Amino acid sequence: DQQVKQNSPSLSVQEGRISILNCDYTNSMFDYFLWYKKYPAEGPTFLISISSIKDKNEDGRFTVFLNKSAKHLSLHIVPSQPGDSAVYFCAAISGTSGTYKYIFGTGTRLKVLA
């Protein structure tokens, strides 16, 4: 049962335009969400996060939006650059059992075309 879902396996965007990556979750008890970027043959690296008490968080070209009622979050990259081409994972922190686990989606491969 996939608690965190990324329904778009891939996305292509022209350089300079906006990239929008989407993520849905099923567990309303998740209270923190993160986005990671992964290049081939490297480990995932943290990009940006958002607490469930907020609906937006910005860091430079990256903005994450959270819609709790829809159980949906999105990552906006503006403007997109060729170096942004990577696989992006969204993740949620589950702490309902008293310990903390990071639950990841299946990833979206972003290709930014020069």
Query: Residues in the site for another protein, rule: CB under 8 A?
Result: 6, 9, 32, 34, 36, 41-46, 49, 89, 91, 93, 95, 97, 99-107
- Residue 78 C-beta: closest distance to another protein, Å: 22
**CA of 44: how far to CAs of 24, 35, 55, in Å?**
20, 10, 24
Q: How far apart are CA 107 and CA 37, in angstroms?
A: 9
Between 63 and 105, CB nearer to another protein = 105
What element of type H or E holds 64?
Answer: strand 62-67
Between 56 and 101, CB nearer to another protein = 101
Which amino acid is residue 106, in one-letter code? T
Q: How far apart are CA 87 and CA 75, in angstroms?
A: 13
Between 26 and 45, CB nearer to another protein = 45
- Residue 66 C-beta: closest distance to another protein, Å: 14
- Residue 39 C-beta: closest distance to another protein, Å: 11
